[in-house]
Chains A and B, each alone.
Chain A
Amino acid sequence: MRLSRTSKWILGVVTIVTLAIIYLPLSVVLVNSFNTSKNMAWPPPGLTLDWWQKASNSSGLMAALSTSVMVALGATAIALVLGTLLSMALARYKFFGKQAVSLLVVLPIALPGIVTGIALNNAFRTVLGWNLSIVTIMVAHATFCIVTVYNNVMARLTRMHPNLEEASADLGAGLWTTFRLVTFPQLGSALFAGGLLAFALSFDEIVVTTFTAGSGVQTLPIWILENMFRPNQAPVVNVVAVVLVVVSVIPIYFAQRLAGSEQRR
């Protein structure tokens, strides 16, 4: 297949236009973080650093941020373990009900968040008798995060040759040793990519969180939601968004580097 110069050029233009559309609302967010209007009136009547100062002084914001990071880390850790186990079973073995299992893992993300949210709320409180807390959010988030890890690892495993693992076993390595020294290193970037998506999903989740968070537990999206409803606070959330977008470059960059170095190896 040869792409003509023109079609490459057209595709390039389409890409640029798409990116422009993607970044248009984000630039609105950036400008609004300096907007003097409390209601984010457009165009901004003036510019100010007040919101940045307010955000840096907000202990509620910092607490919500650390709660969110904790929840996302916990959920990602659980999802990494469960997702990897599941994908190893499905990629390497044939068994009855395999199709059903592959459907089961997708369900929590495929069914509407509000359904998952009420179902888990109901189950945690009335069936299990738990008090809602930060742990219940983690459990809920982990449930729908498993699928991102599972899919990334699955894709890698199906392309990986089982020969290597067999060779390792033939050479006398135990199952654990084989996994640790042969399988795992090849999964690196898949785990990172799956984990990163899981983290992102958990970090920005509102609906399921509303129904599984106990009193006094506030994740960042819930904090943002409440600030939207609070008098004279709304533009602070723009500052948060800008900072998050900028900070997110770091993990994404490393994920890319990792993937790149694996390709070269």
Chain B
Amino acid sequence: MISKTAMKLSALTAAAALALTGCASATPSPTSTVPTALGKTEGTVSLLAWPGYVEDGSNDPAYDWVSKFEDQTGCMVTSKSYGTSDEATSLFKTGDYDVVAASGDATLRLIASGDVAELNTDLIPSYAGVYDFLKAKPWNSVDGKVYGVPHGYGANLLMYKKDVVKPAPTSWDVVFDKSSAYKGKVTAYDSPIYIADAAVYLMAHNPELNITDPYALDETQLQAAIDLLKAQRVNVGEYWSDYLKEIQAFETGDSVVGTTWQVIVNSMSAKAKVGAILPTEGATGWSDSWMISSKAKSPNCAYKWLDYIDSPEANAAATGYFGEAPATAAACEFMGQDVCDSYHAGDEAYAAKIYYWTTPIANCLDGRTDVECTDYARWTEAWQEIKG
């Protein structure tokens, strides 16, 4: 849990930093601009999202949840998709987009840089239906102020080929301490945020490091994670970030063990003989958030989109297409309960084992004040060093 003082402190630091730089091309919008009522819709809205989050039927006529929105609100949608969270932040900073769907490793960066605005959730009726365990969390709010509404969530699971990895694993140790058994066939997610996966492992196996939050690592704790990942690097065949690559590697046996998403497990053929588990240590995961630009040209249409995408039918269509648990329980009626169950939607015990992606910042997210934590910039540097 995050202490409020810490968050206040960090907000203060941010303000001070901005005052110092004097180059405030994108100062955080003052809180007074949070709208209390919606005005007339602007007729257009531009969205930035992960591929598969905004489908208007142009790729496959069977998948279209944008046209209905356009009919209902008169807001015509233009959209662009991105491949990584880093790409998302750089694209969003161009100011060309009203709305972004961002993962937790990007959200705090966008909030801190003032690129996204605080939301008035009263103006988003369908927000009431969203699972409570996803609301106002460290990755979508700061100091009780909500900046993002949830889209869907999932865990970074451990996938393995049953015919190679024996006995069936229960722990992440197969990709860390015991990874040399699968030299050249281990895979891992290609992003600085993967450092948190190592931290989750260290939390369970190296208690003397006193890690309580995998996103709040001081320099010593980070160094331990780096060492673990460097040892793993020797046995890694490839890192993945798009899931076609991951699926192919497991189908052909180029990878036999590593992190995965539920949707990838679901699309593997029976021939590939894979199993997937949420290991005993717990796992990292994501809960993506829809956020509105502080410089939005169409704020009213943007609010309409946030409301629409969290409405049960649209939320079911979007998360079902991408392959993740929806943000609202009512979506399961449209998605099919069995599909929902395969993503463990609403399963609080399962959700509690997930450490959701959150942007690491200097003010420790676990509330420690006696030490400075390593921030995302440091993680990025460390990640490049690990890959070498």
Q: Chain A: residues with CB nearer than 8 A to chain B?
A: 37-42, 45, 54, 57-61, 63, 121, 125, 131-132, 210, 213-216, 218, 225-234
Tell me which of B52, B79, B321 contacts A216 (CB under 8 A): B79
Report which of A42, A63, A233 forms a contact with B60, defined as CB distance below 8 A: A233
**B251 near A: Cβ within 8 Å?**
yes
Compute how far the CA of A37 lies from the CA of B268 in the bound complex, rounded to whole angstroms. Answer: 10
Query: In the complex the two chains form, what is the Cα distance from A37 to B322 in whole Å?
Result: 18
> Cβ of B80 and Cβ of A215 under 8 Å apart?
yes
B52:A231 contact, CB within 8 angstroms: yes
B30 within 8 A of A: no
B263 within 8 A of A: yes
Question: B269 in the interface, Cβ–Cβ < 8 Å?
Answer: yes
**Sample of 16 further A-B pairs with CB below 8 A, known A213-B80, A226-B51, A228-B244:** A37-B251, A37-B269, A39-B244, A39-B251, A58-B58, A58-B59, A125-B94, A215-B47, A215-B79, A215-B96, A218-B80, A227-B59, A229-B83, A230-B51, A230-B59, A231-B321
A45 to B83, CA, bound (A): 29
Q: Is the CB of B80 within 8 A of A216?
A: yes
The answer to whether the Cβ of B173 comes within 8 Å of any Cβ in the partner chain is: no
Decide: A59 near B323, CB < 8 A? Known: A215-B46, A230-B51, A232-B267. Answer: no
A94 to chain B, nearest CB (A): 44
> Given that A58-B58, A231-B322 are contacting pairs, would A226 and B96 also be in contact in the complex, using a CB cutoff of 8 Å?
no
Most chain A beta-carbon neighbours within 10 Å: one of B59, B78, B248:
B59
Write the nearest CB–CB distance from A129 to chain B, whole angstroms: 11
Measured CB to CB, the residues of B under 8 A from A are 46-48, 51-52, 56-61, 78-81, 83, 87, 94-97, 242-244, 247-248, 251-252, 263, 267, 269, 271, 321-323
Name the residue on B nearest A210 (C-beta).
B87
* Whole-angstrom CA separation of A41 from B270 in the bound complex: 12
Task: Tell whether A229 pairs with B58 under 8 Å between CB atoms, given A41-B269, A121-B94, A216-B79.
Answer: no
- A151, B208: Cα distance in complex, Å: 66
Q: List the 3 closest pairs (A to B, CB-CB), nearest first.
A: A216-B78, A60-B58, A229-B51
**Chain B residues in 8 Å Cβ range of A228:** 242, 244
B60 touches A131 (CB 8 A): no
Whole-angstrom distance between the alpha carbons of A103 and B355 in the complex? 53
In the complex the two chains form, what is the Cα distance from A39 to B95 in whole Å? 35
What DSSP secondary structure best describes chain A's contact surface?
loop
A124 to chain B: closest residue by CB: B94
On whether the beta carbons of A229 and B78 are closer than 8 Å, the reply is no
Question: Smallest CB-CB separation from A59: which chain B residue?
Answer: B58
- Cα of A125 to Cα of B78 in the assembled complex, Å: 19
Q: Which residues of A contact B46 (CB under 8 A)?
A: 215-216
Let me know if A226 and B79 touch, CB within 8 A.
no
A215 touches B78 (CB 8 A): yes
Nearest A-chain residue to B320, judged by Cβ: A231
Min distance, Cβ B168 to any Cβ of chain A, angstroms: 24
Residues from chain B with Cβ under 8 Å of A57 in the complex:
60-61
CB distance from B79 to the nearest CB of A (A): 7
Residue of A at shortest CB range from B55? A230
Q: Which residue of A lies closest to B98 (CB)?
A: A215
Q: List 8 A-B contacts (CB under 8 A).
A: A39-B251, A39-B269, A57-B61, A59-B57, A60-B59, A131-B96, A213-B80, A218-B80
CB pair B323 A231 closer than 8 Å = yes
> What B residues does A54 contact at CB under 8 A?
60
**Of A39, A63, A227, which one neighbours B247 at CB under 8 angstroms?**
A39
Contacts of B321 in A (CB 8 A): 231
Task: Tell me which residues across on chain B come within 8 A of A218, comparing CB atoms.
Answer: 80
Instruction: Take A215-B96, A216-B78 as given contacts and tell me if A230 and B267 are in contact as well, using a CB distance cutoff of 8 Å.
Output: no
**A194 CA to B242 CA, complexed, in Å:** 36
Q: Are B96 and A229 in contact (CB under 8 A)?
A: no
Complex CA–CA separation, A138 to B243 (angstroms): 31
CB-defined contacts of B96 to chain A, threshold 8 Å: 131-132, 214-215
Q: Is the CB of B263 within 8 A of A231?
A: yes
- Shortest beta-carbon distance from B355 to chain A in Å: 25
Question: How distant is the Cα of A260 from the Cα of B71 in the complex, in angstroms?
Answer: 56
